[in-house]
Amino acid sequence: MPNYGDLQNEIYLAGLSGVVPSLPMSFAELERRAELAMAPGTWSYVAGGAGDEHTQRRNRTAFDHWGLVPRMLRARTERDLSVDLFGIALPTPVFLSPIGVIGICTQDGHGDLATARAAAATGVPMVASTLTEDPMEEVAVEYGETPGFFQLYCPTDPEVAASLVSRAERSGHRGIVLTLDTWVTGWRPRDLATSNFPQLRGHCLANYFSDPVFRSRLASTPEDDPGSAILAWAMMFGKPLAWDDLAWLRSLTDLPLVLKGICHPDDARRAVDAGADGVFVSTHGGRQANGGLAAIDCLPEVAAAVPDVPVLFDSGVRSGSDVVKALALGATAVGIGRPYAYAAALAGTHGIVHVLRTILAEADLLMAVDGYPTLADLGPEAIRRT
């Protein structure tokens, strides 16, 4: 059985014939090259965050105060990174977090399709955003055998919300990720300084413009009058959700429902009591609230509060060691965000596959070296706050 870590032998052996990797091997280099490859507005939208970006930085630096405890004489030549998520067997505990502008990150402007193809190639599921350049049905076709999930930004119009969820079901998505922290956009100085909000310029609204219920709310079609359609979208984008809304949202689907943005253990318990099948610890990559608490530091308490449901995690994951730390702190599955947007800008599907393979290789080799050959070995005793 091959291990994900075998990638390093592949690279070293290719090096004997003078071949060195054309794509970056570190996040710092990936970020540097992505800035050169992306249109300036797209770059600042993806790289930027809320306020002075303190939370965004904390999401990263907080990983440094967690350390894995090496355990010896537990070497196993085969590692097992597989995980069960809502009864779905996945080869790895990694997934692609929803990125609403991934569509415009690739050079061809079809980044959602590129991401779905990377999911198909790697078995790493994509959580497709509500905000895509290509409609979800066309994205879903590209998942191949890999399960896909749909992320919902709940519109104020309940029938549009119901329509989006039902389309996600019909196009074969295996779960709904409801994002809670973005009913209003956080204060983002980088985007404000350039008055740049991609959706208001008509980007990434394909799921709305292709939606029969959304279209029924317009006097003219989005093709005839895009300006009015964009305005209609802006008016109905984010419903200010309250706990009372959950019963209705739950009633929209029998698919697993995951609530994204949960950072407090009480919210996690309440979410599960209200019928959520999983919770998703995330600070939205520091793009929404610049409150200063790192997502990884919220994870242990949330995971302890809801031991019987899957806990998804993202925000600040840049490497395989970040993935392993999050798993040890209680995550069932770990989401990759900005790294794949940068990789998409450099090399589309190929770039995203590269980033996923490098993250998985590092995670696998870290588990090998530190004596945690399976995910079941990675419990709280594997990690310490340093």
Ligand X SMILES: Cc1cc2nc3c(=O)[nH]c(=O)nc-3n(C[C@H](O)[C@H](O)[C@H](O)COP(=O)(O)O)c2cc1C
Q: Which is nearer to ligand X, 3 or 151 (CB)?
A: 151
Kindly state whether residue 259 participates in binding ligand X, applying the rule CB under 6 A. Answer: no
Least distance in angstroms from the C-beta of 82 to ligand X: 23
Which element (helix H / strand E) includes 235? helix 226-236
> Catalytic: which of 110, 173, 284, 354?
284
What is the nearest approach in angstroms of ligand X to the Cβ of residue 206?
A: 13
Contact 111, 203 (CB under 8 A): no
* Helix 265-273 with 295-305: angle, nearest 10 deg: 50
Pick one of 133, 134, 277, 314: the residue that binds ligand X (CB under 6 A). 314
**Pair of tokens at residue 217:** 């709310």
Q: Which tokens sit at 115?
A: 């991401």
Find where tokens 């537990």 sit: 74
327 versus 368: smaller Cβ distance to ligand X: 327
The residue behind tokens 């996040």 is 27
Answer yes or no: 284 catalytic.
yes
Scanning residues 181 to 220, which ones bind ligand X (CB under 6 A)?
none
Nearest approach in angstroms of CB 261 to ligand X is 8
Tokens of 372: 């945690």
Contact 284, 182 (CB under 8 A): yes
Contacting ligand X (CB under 6 A), which of 101, 126, 329, 382?
A: 101
Q: Which is nearer to ligand X, 115 or 315 (CB)?
A: 315
HEC secondary structure over 12-52: HHHHHCCCCCCCCCCHHHHHHHHHHHCCHHHHHHHHCCCCC
Residues from 35 through 74 that contact ligand X (CB under 6 A) = 45-46, 59
Query: Which residues 6+ apart lie within 8 Å of 90 measured at CB?
Result: 82, 83, 84, 123, 125, 147, 333
Q: How far is the CB of 144 from ligand X (least distance, A)?
A: 22
Residues touching ligand X, count (CB under 6 A): 24
Smallest gap from residue 373 Cβ to ligand X (A): 26
Among 50, 99, 205, 356, interactor with ligand X by CB under 6 A: 99
Q: Of residues 3, 97, 115, 321, which one binds ligand X by CB under 6 A? A: 97
Cα separation of the two ends of the chain: 35
Window 260-299: contact mask with ligand X (x via CB under 6 A): x---------------------x-xx-x------------
Work out the number of other CB atoms within 10 angstroms of the CB of residue 18.
Answer: 6
Residues that bind ligand X (CB under 6 A): 45-46, 59, 97-101, 129, 131, 151, 179, 260, 282, 284-285, 287, 314-317, 337-338, 341
* Positions marked active-site: 284
